[in-house]
Each structure stands twice: as C-alpha cells, then as structure tokens.
Amino acid sequence: MKQNTYNFTDKWSPEIGKWGHTPVPNLLVTHQRELGISNGELAVLLGLLMFMWSTNNPFPAVSTLASHSGMASKTIRRHIRSLEAKGLIRRKYRKAITNEYDFGPLKSRLHSIAKVSTPPTQKRTPLHPQMSRRPYSELDTEEYEANKTKRKRQTYNSETTHISKLLEERFGGRNGRN
C-alpha cells in the first residue's frame, strides 16, 4: 500500500515541480464569494501571490501579470484597483519602479474568517470491497468520450449508422452548418 505523501512533486510530478508552486490559503478559495472577489480579481491575486517569495511584499510589473494571465494590462490595473477599494490589498507606489503589493488587509480578513469558521474535515470516499479503483466522473475521462461516440450511433433496418453519416444524408455534406 502506497503511503500518502504531502510533497508537491509527489502529488504533481518532478517536471511540474521544477517550475515551483504558489501557496494559496484554502480560506481564500472557499470564501471567495464572501470576500467579494470576482474570478478575474482572484486570477490577479494568484498572479501577485506567485511573486511572494518571502515575508516581503511582492512587486511584479503589471505587464508581467498580463503576459502570464492573458489579460490586458488595463484589465489587470482595474482588478488591482478593485481589490484595493475592497480593502483586500494595499498598493505602495514606488517612484520609477514597479508597485509593491501589501497583503496585510487580506491576511487580516482571512484571519477573522478563520476565527469564526471551522475547518472542513477531509473527506475520503471509501472503496467498495469489490471495486479495485474509485469510480470516475463521467465528464472528464477518455472513457466517457469513447462511450459518448457509441451513443451517437443509431440503428435503422438493423444496420448501425454513425451520426456523421446521418448528418451528411440530411444536410448534403454541410454537416448541419449553414
């Protein structure tokens, strides 16, 4: 029986581990709505957290955050202003260099939430005695895709016909597109 390990590279892979990882408090994720953080703002927060290498405040350039996330620099700045207006971060302007971002307000808010919330217990799905592995989620497996293709087939006159053939017959090779 394999023993559980909590090492990042054991959970993901050594190749992924070479790129590093960003510690994110679970409270931030589980209380995103309560904190009033939009998905875009969360993406910017995660980008900022990626540069928090020590207890010092991170200071990435907006252009760097934009290139990592695929968002426009203007969108990044808008999310930063919004996070600042919500009292979750403090931006420290530094003349002629990138801004510094203080997470003190967010830490304080998360600390308050932690005081009144009880941490969830980690749920483990017990294996059924006759099952050799956990049941899979239909929506994210190759097996589901293979089964979905089989379900598309229909039978006419005891002959199996694939959906693409039916579409070709019905729409004359246009595959249902105008």
Domain range spanning residue 111? Answer: 8-116
Of residues 94 and 175, which shows the higher confidence score? 94
Q: Are residues 92 and 148 in the same domain?
A: no
Average pLDDT of the segment spanning 80-91: 96
DSSP summary character for residue 100: E
- Asked if residues 47 and 68 have their Cβ atoms less than 8 Å apart, the reply is yes
Beta strands 159-161 and 90-92, pairing class = unpaired
Q: What distance in Å separates the CA atoms of residue 130 and residue 117, rounded to the nearest whole number?
A: 38
Round the average pLDDT of the chain to a whole number and report it. 80
Average pLDDT of the segment spanning 129-137: 53
Which CATH number goes with the domain that contains 68?
Answer: 1.10.10.10
Among candidate residues 18, 14, 16, 20, the one with its CA nearest the CA of residue 53: 20
What's the pLDDT tens digit per position in 96-113? 899 999 999 999 999 999
Number of separate domains in the chain:
2
Q: What distance in Å separates the CA atoms of residue 89 and residue 105, rounded to the nearest whole number?
A: 6
What's the pLDDT tens digit per position in 144-176? 565 555 545 544 555 666 777 777 777 776 554
The percent of residues in the chain predicted with pLDDT above 90, rounded, is 47
Q: What distance in Å separates the CA atoms of residue 70 and residue 67, rounded to the nearest whole number?
A: 5
Q: Are residues 97 and 37 in the same domain?
A: yes
Q: Are residues 41 and 85 in the same domain?
A: yes
89: number of Cβ within 10 Å: 22
Q: Are residues 76 and 148 in the same domain?
A: no
Q: What distance in Å separates the CA atoms of residue 178 and residue 115, rounded to the nearest whole number?
A: 59
Q: Please name the residue that has the structure tokens 């931006």.
A: 91
- Up-side HSE of residue 178: CA atoms within 13 Å toward CB? 0
Q: Are residues 13 and 90 in the same domain?
A: yes
